Structure 1
Amino acid sequence: MPVLLLLGAPGCAPTAQALASGEIAFEGQNYRIVHVDLRREGLSLHWRDPQSGQPFSSIETLRQWGEQHGRHLLFAANAGIYDHKFAPLGLYVENGKTVVPLNLAHGNPASGNFSLLPNGVFAVYPDGHAAVRTSAAFKADGKSAKWATQSGPMLLIDGKLNEQFVDDSSSLKWRSGVCVKTPTEVVFAVSEAPVNFHTFGRLFRDKLGCRDALYLDGSISQLYVDGEGYAGAPAFMVKPYAGIFAVFAKP
């Protein structure tokens, strides 16, 4: 099980805070897992500096921006898949504002994994609850999100692996994903070595106990945990992000 790490050392943040984070093994591979309790921790999504309008592009840039504004970064992860212009390819909602609308276009080869259907949405709602839904189900719900990213493919749908996945697939990549175990418990995971979709989906189902999980991205994916550094893809693989999840220390 993930261990509890104390994040936010004295002198670095107003108060020490705990975020559940740890490394687990599954079928011979290691994964970094981070649990976010929405009852205690504010999960937010960031693409552009609100003052300059320039994309943050990297976790380090977001961390520095936070420090300049008196906000200490405890956790960060890349959000969903984006296009060749480094803009979100699908739905992107930041602090209640829909910056990019829901994308239900199908079969575009340029969309890569996004077009491996069904794709889905991870959303945090104004009441503080979160959910992972297929894109079609999210649209049918008609609920406005406070924070949301669309990506794909769905890894798990109602406890079942995406039927597109092949057990012995040779498509091995560093992979990141997210699930919602309860309406207020969000779990992020990143592989620390290349794995296929089938294995990564089973991690969420069989090891983490999730019923619905969404793939975030592949070879560029990293998680950052304050005091522990980065896990996931090696630094030379990382490219600019269009959307970064973050948990900042509370004042």
Structure 2
Amino acid sequence: MRWLVFLLLLGTPAAAVTCDDFDHEGKSYTACHVDAAREALRLFHADEDGTVLGSFSAVEATLDVEMLSFAMNAGMYHDDRAPVGHYVENGIEKMRVITTEGPGNFGLLPNGIFCVNDGSAQVYETLQYVDLQPRCRDATQSGPMLVIDGALHPRFLPDGTSRFIRNGVGTSADGTQAVFVISNDPVSFFEFGTVFRDYLKLPNALYFDGKVSRLHAPSLGRSDIGFQLGPIVGVVDNGMD
């Protein structure tokens, strides 16, 4: 019997993503931890015909035998759902880097860029990204930065009153870990930033969006629906260890 159990365990696919709910400073959040060194982390925006996907189910429909073990909206977009800032998918740049200050959260400098390669993922502050010019297989620009080299964005206020459901991503210093977080309660920028700085202890983190924030986490039985999305980040899992 023990050998049977052992063989069954061997045949059980390892979880591609670990998602969990937690509380921080009295607010509820969900985090999905991705091993960027091992997992197939990708960005999605449009199909081969150029039609914007806009939803997690539409992304899954483009896959063959694979499935999405995690997905989240990944950056701000215009009314036509085109990315507001820099966007690269599978090595093809679809939108240039925006370095100027502007209206809205995107233009609340410093903002940043989430860069994905086979085996790594990093959040860069935008001017650092321009200076270093890292090669990214996939990249999406959003803003503001939440955490920059271990410090909160300088314009976040501890007593800020603007609160929304918010989502974003933080990365480890070595680029092997990416942690995607969505708040389950309305939170301020300051409150959201402290999740990455104090609870997750990640050196850099980037805000994706608010109000339209969505999470697809099958391991939690969760797949949010709502507004049509622009860029989407996800982990493609072939079901094999």
Tell me if the contact between 2:45 and 2:54 (Cα under 8 Å) persists in the aligned partners: yes
Percent sequence identity is 38
CA distance in 2, matches of 1:141, 1:42: 24
The question of 1:225 aligning with 2:217 is answered yes
The counterpart of 1:55, out of the listed 52, 56, 59, is 52
Corresponding residue of 1:25: 23
Cα RMSD after superposing both structures: 1.8
CA distance in 2, matches of 1:183, 1:173: 28
Tell me if the contact between 2:19 and 2:31 (Cα under 8 Å) persists in the aligned partners: yes
Cα distance change, pair 40–15 in 1 and its aligned pair in 2 (3 A): farther
The counterpart of 1:152, out of the listed 121, 143, 157, is 143
Match of 2:152, as an amino acid? L
How far 1:17 sits from its partner (Å)? 3.0
Give me the TM-score of the superposition, normalised by structure 1: 0.86
Deviations 1:64-95 (A, max 9, x none): 332xx222111101011112221100011101
Tell me if the contact between 2:52 and 2:81 (Cα under 8 Å) persists in the aligned partners: no
Deviations 1:17-65 (A, max 9, x none): 3121101110111111001102221100010112x32111011221233
CA distance in 2, matches of 1:179, 1:204: 7
Tell me if the contact between 2:19 and 2:220 (Cα under 8 Å) persists in the aligned partners: no
Tell me if the contact between 2:115 and 2:122 (Cα under 8 Å) persists in the aligned partners: yes
Gap runs ≥5 in structure 1: 1-9
The counterpart of 1:125, out of the listed 105, 117, 134, is 117
CA distance in 1, matches of 2:81, 2:222: 22
Corresponding residue of 1:213: 205
Corresponding residue of 1:242: 230
CA distance in 2, matches of 1:242, 1:197: 22
Match of 2:55, as an amino acid? S
How far 1:216 sits from its partner (Å)? 0.4
Q: Which has the larger radius of gyration?
A: 2
Corresponding residue of 1:95: 90
The counterpart of 1:16, out of the listed 1, 10, 13, is 13
SS at match of 1:113: coil
CA distance in 2, matches of 1:154, 1:162: 6
How far 1:15 sits from its partner (Å)? 6.4
How far 1:100 sits from its partner (Å)? 0.8
Corresponding residue of 1:3: none
Give me the TM-score of the superposition, normalised by structure 2: 0.89
Tell me if the contact between 2:112 and 2:124 (Cα under 8 Å) persists in the aligned partners: yes
Tell me if the contact between 2:46 and 2:52 (Cα under 8 Å) persists in the aligned partners: yes
SS at match of 1:138: helix
Deviations 1:118-176 (A, max 9, x none): 110010135x2221111100000012210110000000111111111111111000000
Corresponding residue of 2:154: 163
Corresponding residue of 2:168: 177
Gap runs ≥5 in structure 2: 1-7
Match of 2:43, as an amino acid? L
Deviations 1:175-194 (A, max 9, x none): 00101113111100000010
CA distance in 1, matches of 2:123, 2:69: 23
